[in-house]
Amino acid sequence: MKAFEKRVKILSNHSLKKNYFLLSFKDRDIAGAAVPGQFLMVKTARGLYPLLRRPLSIHSCSGGKDGRIGILYEVKGPGSELLSFCRPKDCLEVVGPLGNGFPLPGHGRDVVLVAGGMGAAPLFFLAERLTADNKKRRIHVLIGACGKEHLCRVKEFSAAGCSVLVSTDDGSRGRQGYVSGLLESFLDKPGNVSVTPLIYACGPRPMLQAVAFVAAKYGVPGYCSLEAHMACGIGACMGCVIPVRDQGGREEYKRVCNDGPVFGLQEPDWGKM
C-alpha cells in the first residue's frame, strides 16, 4: 500500500444541502492508488488551530489520466468549517490513501450497502467500483438519516445503477425508523437478494452496532467502516484504538487507522465502545 504526502489543488468545493459539502481535487498518484474504504488525512488550518489533520473517507475516485478524488463531508466543528471555506484553486494538504479498503465480493454475489447519514461517503466509492467491474450482481443501497433534509447521495446511487431504499427517523421520506430496521425488513423478504449477500455498512457507531445485530440474526456476513478521532492516521500514535474480539474470543485493541477503518461487522466489541 502506497500513500502520499501531497499538496493538491482544489477543483470544486460546494454545499450540497444543509451542512453537507462535496470537495474535489485532482491527483493521479492518490487516485491511482486508492481503493474503496480508504481515507485521507486532510489539513484544514493554515496555522496551528485546529492542529491535527482530519480523517475523511474517499467518496468518489476516478483513476487513470483524470485522477479525480471527491470528499463528502459535514461541517460540524472548526476543522470542517475551515475546509468549507476553501475555494477552487486553493491548495489543500493531504496524506493518503490510508487504511484498508473493503474486501470485495466474489462474482455474482449481491451486496447490500447500509449508510447512516454521512456513512454514504465511503460507500459511494464502493458502489462506483462494483458497478464498474461488470460482475453480474445486484447492488442494494439502504440509506437512513434523521430527516429527509439529511439524506445524501440518493439520486447519485440510483444513477450509478444501484437500487435504493430510504428510511428516515421522522418518517419525512421513505420508511419511518432507523436504517437497521429497514435492513431487517429487507433481509426478511425472500427473493430480495441471491443466496447470502454481503453487507457493507458505514455510519454512527450505535447504527453500526444495530446493523451488526441484524446481520448476525440473519446470518449475513459483512463489513463496516468506522470513524475515529485520529492524531497520525498512519498507525504510529496508537490513539484511535477500539476494543475488538479475536477469533479465540480474546479482547484486544486495534487501530481504526491502520488495522481498519474497515472491520468485520462482528469484530468490534460493540458493547464496550
- Taking the C-alpha atoms of residue 233 and residue 249, their distance in angstroms, rounded to an integer, is 27
Number of residues binding to other proteins, judged by CB under 8 A? 30
235 touches other proteins (CB under 8 A): yes
Interface residue with other proteins, options 40, 145, 202, 232 (CB under 8 A): 232
Interface residue with other proteins, options 193, 242, 244, 265 (CB under 8 A): 242
Question: Which runs of E-coded beta strand occur in the chain?
Answer: 4-17, 20-26, 39-42, 54-57, 60-62, 68-74, 91-98, 111-116, 139-145, 163-168, 175-176, 198-202, 222-225, 241-245, 251-255, 262-264
Please report how close the Cβ of residue 29 comes to other proteins at its closest, in angstroms.
12
Interface residue with other proteins, options 240, 244, 262, 265 (CB under 8 A): 240
Question: Which runs of E-coded beta strand occur in 3-126?
Answer: 4-17, 20-26, 39-42, 54-57, 60-62, 68-74, 91-98, 111-116
Please report how close the Cβ of residue 240 comes to other proteins at its closest, in angstroms.
7
Please report how close the Cβ of residue 216 comes to other proteins at its closest, in angstroms.
24
- First-residue to last-residue Cα distance in the chain: 29
- Is the bond leading into 97 cis (omega within 30 degrees of zero)? yes
254 touches other proteins (CB under 8 A): no
11 touches other proteins (CB under 8 A): no
Please report how close the Cβ of residue 79 comes to other proteins at its closest, in angstroms.
9
Please list every residue from 49 through 108 that binds other proteins, using CB under 8 A. 49-53, 93, 95
Of the candidates 184, 232, 175, 172, the one whose C-alpha atom is nearest the C-alpha of residue 210 is 184
3 touches other proteins (CB under 8 A): yes
Q: Which region, judged by CB under 8 A, interacts with other proteins, from 10-18, 101-109, 152-160, 252-260?
A: 252-260
- The residues that touch other proteins, with contacts defined as CB under 8 A, are 2-3, 5, 43, 48-53, 93, 95, 229-243, 252-253, 258
